[in-house]
Amino acid sequence: MPRVYCFNPNCLQINRDNDSQFCHNCGAALSLKDRYQAIAILHKNNRSQVFRVSDRLNTNSCILRQIHKDNPYNNYFNRLVTYLKEIEPHPDIPDYIDSFETDSYCYLVRGFIEGNNLETLVNRSGTFAVDRVWQVLLNILPVLHHLHSYKLIHREIEPQNIIYSDKLNKFILVDWMSLTKVKGDRNIQSDTSLDIYSGSAEFSAPESLEGTVCFASDLYSLGLVCVYLLTGLRPFDVFNTIDRSWVWRDNWQISKAEVNSDRRERLGELIDKLIVPDLDRRLRSPSDVLRMMGCSVTDWESAIARKKRHQDALEYTWTCQKFLRADEELFAGLNCIDYSDDGKFIASGGEDKKISISEVETGDRIVNLYGHQGQIADIKFVPNTNILISGDRKGKIYFWRWNGGRNADSDIVHELDTGSGVAVIALHPGLPMLASAHIDKKIRIWDRQTKELITTLAAHSLAVTDVQFAIGSPLLASASQDRIVKIWQTDNWELKHSLKGHNWAIKSVAFNADASILASAGDGKDIKIWDLKTHQLLRNLSGHSWSVSCIAFLPNSKTLLLSASWDKKIKLWDIETGEELAVLEGHQDSIFDLAVRAIAPDRGFSLATTSKDKTIGIWEIGRRLSL
C-alpha cells in the first residue's frame, strides 16, 4: 500500500490510508494546497525537511523543501524565489514548479531528478576514471555558464549536490537553495544572504569563506569535486597546510585501464587551474574551462536552443513490419545483414555458413548461396552492381554475382584467401576499395576491381572487430578487442590518431554524415561520442544493460544514432543532447547486426536486424512533425 508521510516535522508519521485527509497520529493535513502529498522523506535537520511529493497537477514526482520560518531567512527566501523565476528553463536544470508560505513555513517545489549523488557513487564503486570526470565537467559547465549569465552564483557545488541520472544519461547539479546575485563584474560584498545555506567549508572557495563570492568561486568548488572523484579524499585531506599547497596528485591512483596519458595530463592541468586560491590566477568562467577542454560554449547553447525548438514537435515511432524466420537448423543464429541498393532485398548470413537473400515486401526467401566453409561474419551488397561480397571466420572473402529476382542464378566469381578469420568488411563509399578486419590484429585493404591487396594496416594489439570508411573525408576507423579506436588517413594509410577510453573490448564504430563525430561501443555497454577535430570525448550514452553489438548513424544524419545490443533492444539516440529518443523491442535473444536505409525524403527509415533468435526483424522508423 502506498505510503503518505505527515508534513509535521515533529511527527513525520507514515499513513497508509490514501483516502485519509489528516494524519492519524497528530491530525495534521496530509496534503498541501490540496495538491502535494509526501511519498518519501529525503532529508531532515533542525531547520528544514525535504520530501519527494506527488503532485495532482503534474504526473511527475517533485521535490518539496519545507523551511522553518525565522527572521534571517524570510527576506532571502523571497529573493531566492525571484532568482529561480528569472532563470529561463534549461534541460539540465531542475524545473521551478511552485512556492508558497504558511504561518510557520516557507515551501519550494522543484522537479525531481532520480539518481545517486557523487558521494554515494564513490562510496559504492570507488574513484572515477578520467573520462567519467571529463563527463562531469562537460555536463556541469554549460549549466554554470547558463546560471552565471543571470549574474547568479550557485555556492553549493559539492559531491552531494551533483546527481547522476540514468534516465538522462548525465550528471545534474541540484540543491539551488544558496543562490546569490553578483553585484558588479567580479564580487559581491558580504551580506545576510551569504550566511544562509552556504555550502560545505571543505568545498568552498577561500573568498567565500571571507564573505565574498564571484563566478570563479563556483569553478573552484567544481575543481575540488573533481579532486574528490579522482582520489576519493576530501579537500582538507589533500591540502598541505604547512606550505599551503595541494597534494592531491600524490593521491591520484591511476587505474591500469587509464591508458590515455594525454587526456589524464590535460585533466590534471585543468583541475590545478580551477583550484588556485589566488583569484587572479584561477580560471574565471565556464567558457574559459570549456575552451581549455576543446569545446565551445556556443555549440552547447545552440544544442540547447535546438532542443527547445523541437521539443514535443518531433516524434520517432517504431513500426514492426514483420519477422522473417531463418531455417530451423541447430546453430542458425544470424550474424550479419545488408540491404540491396534498391531496398527490395536483404541478404543475411550466420552460423549455418550460408547466405540467404529474401524479398523485403513479401518476406519470401529468394535464394540460398552455398560455398563458405566457416561462419559468415559479414556481408555487403556493392552499390550499382550485381555483386555481393561476404567474409567468413575461416578467412575467405567471396564475390558473388547475383542477378536479382526469384530463382536467379548466383555463383562465386572471385575468392580472396586472406589468411586470417574475417570479422567485418567495409566498402569505400567513393572508390572501388574494400577493407577487411581480421582476428590476426590486422586490417587489409583490397582493390575491388583487380582483387589485389593494396596494403595491410597493423597497429592493434588484439583482434580487429570493426572497420568503417568515412563519407566525404579520407578517414578509416578501426575498433579492436584492445579497447582502442584508431583513425587512419586513407590517402597515405598512415595512423592519424588513437582514441583511448574504453575499458572493455570495442565491437563497433560509426562516422556521422560529415565525419565530424565518431561513435564507438562494445562490451562496456556505454556508447562513446568523440569529436574528430579535437579527438576528445564529448559524452557517454548509457542505457543498454549488456554489450552493444552494433551502432550506425541514420543515413545523412549528423546527430541521430542507432545502437543494437545483446540486451535484445535497439535504441535511437540524439548524440547532441544524449537523449534516448526511441526503443525497439521484439527480438527474443541478443541482436547481432543492423542495416538501415532511408525510405524516401521525409518518410523515415527502414531498419533490418539480425539476432541469435534466428529471426530477421524488419522495422520502420517513422518521423512525424507536429503542426
Per residue, the 3-state secondary structure of 178-211, as one string, reads CCEECCCCCCECCCHHHHCCCCCHHHCCHHHHCC
Stretch (H or E) spanning 226? helix 215-231
d(CA 149, CA 157): 17
d(CA 57, CA 78): 24
In this predicted structure, what is the pLDDT of residue 223?
A: 97
In a 3-state reduction of DSSP, which class is residue 506? strand
d(CA 215, CA 201): 17
> Of the segments 4-18, 319-333, 382-396, which one has the largest average pLDDT value?
382-396
In this predicted structure, what is the pLDDT of residue 295?
A: 76
Chain centroid to CA 276: how far?
31
In this predicted structure, what is the pLDDT of residue 312?
A: 38
Phi, psi (deg, nearest 5) at residue 190: -55, 130
Sheet arrangement for strand 422-427:
422-427, 433-438, 442-447, 453-458
Average pLDDT, the chain: 86
In this predicted structure, what is the pLDDT of residue 191?
A: 42
Give the length of the chain. 627
User: Which residue(s) pair with 453 in the sheet?
Assistant: 446
The yes-or-no verdict on residue 537 having pLDDT over 80 is: yes
499 contact partners, CB below 8 Å, separation of at least 6: 484, 485, 486, 487, 518, 520, 528, 530, 535, 537
Instruction: For residue range 175-219, list pLDDT tens digits in order.
Output: 898 898 887 544 444 444 444 545 678 899 998 888 788 999 999
Confidence band for 378, pLDDT divided at 50, 70 and 90: very high
In this predicted structure, what is the pLDDT of residue 137?
A: 95
Strands (E), 238-364: 239-240, 245-246, 314-325, 334-339, 345-350, 355-359
In this predicted structure, what is the pLDDT of residue 62?
A: 92
Give the CA distances from residue 405 to residues 340, 367, 408, 410, in Å, rounded to whole numbers and listed in that order. Answer: 12, 9, 6, 11
In 10 A of CB 383, how many CB atoms?
10
Instruction: For residue range 207-248, list pLDDT tens digits in order.
Output: 888 878 899 999 999 999 999 999 999 999 998 888 888 999
d(CA 395, CA 401): 20
The yes-or-no verdict on residue 304 having pLDDT over 60 is: no
The yes-or-no verdict on residue 330 having pLDDT over 50 is: no
Q: Grid coordinates representing 267?
A: 585533466
- Evaluate whether 529 touches 548 at the Cβ level (below 8 Å): no
Q: Grid coordinates representing 239?
A: 591540502
The yes-or-no verdict on residue 515 having pLDDT over 60 is: yes
- Evaluate whether 591 touches 607 at the Cβ level (below 8 Å): no
Measured over the CA atoms of residue 227, residue 229, residue 234 and residue 237, the dihedral's sign is negative
Give the CA distances from residue 24 to residues 5, 9, 15, 44, in Å, rounded to whole numbers and listed in that order. Answer: 11, 15, 7, 21
- Evaluate whether 560 touches 554 at the Cβ level (below 8 Å): yes
Looking up cell 524565489 gives: 81
d(CA 473, CA 456): 20
Confidence band for 45, pLDDT divided at 50, 70 and 90: confident
Give the CA distances from residue 391 to residues 174, 208, 238, 463, in Å, rounded to whole numbers and listed in that order. Answer: 52, 64, 56, 16
Instruction: Average the pLDDT over 360-371 and give the result.
Output: 86
When computed from its CA atoms, the radius of gyration of the chain, rounded to whole angstroms, is 28
d(CA 575, CA 142): 16
Who has greater pLDDT, 199 or 69? Answer: 69
Percentage of the residues of the chain whose pLDDT score is greater than 70: 87
Measured over the CA atoms of residue 53, residue 57, residue 59 and residue 63, the dihedral's sign is negative
Stretch (H or E) spanning 146? helix 130-148
The yes-or-no verdict on residue 332 having pLDDT over 70 is: no
Instruction: For residue range 86-138, list pLDDT tens digits in order.
Output: 888 788 899 899 999 888 889 999 999 999 999 999 999 999 999 899 999 99
d(CA 611, CA 404): 25
d(CA 519, CA 541): 10
DSSP-derived pairing of the beta strands 48-55 and 58-68: antiparallel
Measured over the CA atoms of residue 237, residue 242, residue 246 and residue 249, the dihedral's sign is negative
Q: Grid coordinates representing 186?
A: 567580479
Instruction: Average the pLDDT over 300-319 and give the result.
Output: 53
Phi, psi (deg, nearest 5) at residue 622: -85, 150
In this predicted structure, what is the pLDDT of residue 376?
A: 94
- Evaluate whether 281 touches 288 at the Cβ level (below 8 Å): no
DSSP-derived pairing of the beta strands 387-392 and 376-381: antiparallel
Q: Annotate 161-184 with b (16+ C-beta within 10 A) or e (fewer).
A: bbbbbeebbbbbbbbbbbbbebee
Nearest to 333 by CA among 341, 323, 325: 325
d(CA 92, CA 173): 8
Given its phi and psi angles, is residue 212 left (phi above 0), alpha (psi -120 to 50 degrees) or beta?
Answer: beta
The yes-or-no verdict on residue 313 having pLDDT over 50 is: no
In a 3-state reduction of DSSP, which class is residue 134? helix
Confidence band for 608, pLDDT divided at 50, 70 and 90: very high
Using CA atoms of 191, 196, 199, 202 in order, give the dihedral in degrees to the nearest 10: 70
User: Which residue(s) pair with 288 in the sheet?
Assistant: none
- Evaluate whether 538 touches 529 at the Cβ level (below 8 Å): yes
d(CA 350, CA 358): 15
354 contact partners, CB below 8 Å, separation of at least 6: 368, 369, 370, 372, 376
User: Which residue(s) pair with 211 in the sheet?
Assistant: none
d(CA 200, CA 209): 10
Instruction: For residue range 408-433, list pLDDT tens digits in order.
Output: 556 889 999 999 999 999 999 989 99
d(CA 160, CA 4): 26
Percentage of the residues of the chain whose pLDDT score is greater than 90: 49
DSSP-derived pairing of the beta strands 105-111 and 96-101: antiparallel
Who has greater pLDDT, 296 or 596? Answer: 596
